[in-house]
Amino acid sequence: QSGGCCDGSSPMCYQAGEFRVGGQDVLLGKLKVADIQEPIGFWMSASQFEYWKHTHLTVDVVDGRGGGFSLESPEGKRFLIRSRLFTAEEWQILESSPVATGASTH
């Protein structure tokens, strides 16, 4: 979840090896994509994670213009984040779960 160019709010997809994960970046999950063997890590900055940590995020693909540096841009597609608050039960489970960061995964 790296920046709608500048503000950090639009998800962007990079070629393998072209995105440098920072030590404080948070791994939200790994996306399974058809025709790609390895799941793709979905990372968010620590400051964004603090803001969004109470929400379930769904990554969607829709028609439109994506971020200029993102792989989907020339395809006439863009990523869209849909969100909802976690339920009390979901939050209770997640609250006690460890958070994977760039520092803990390398």
The ranges assigned to domains in the chain are 1-96
Residue 83 has pLDDT above 90, yes or no: yes
Residue 1 pLDDT class (50, 70, 90 cuts): very low
Residue 5 pLDDT class (50, 70, 90 cuts): low
Rounded to two decimals, what is the model's pTM? 0.79
Which tens digits make up the pLDDT trace of 37-81? 889 899 999 999 999 999 999 988 899 887 677 888 778 888 889
Instruction: Compute the distance between CA of residue 53 and CA of residue 78 in angstroms, rounded to an integer.
Output: 23
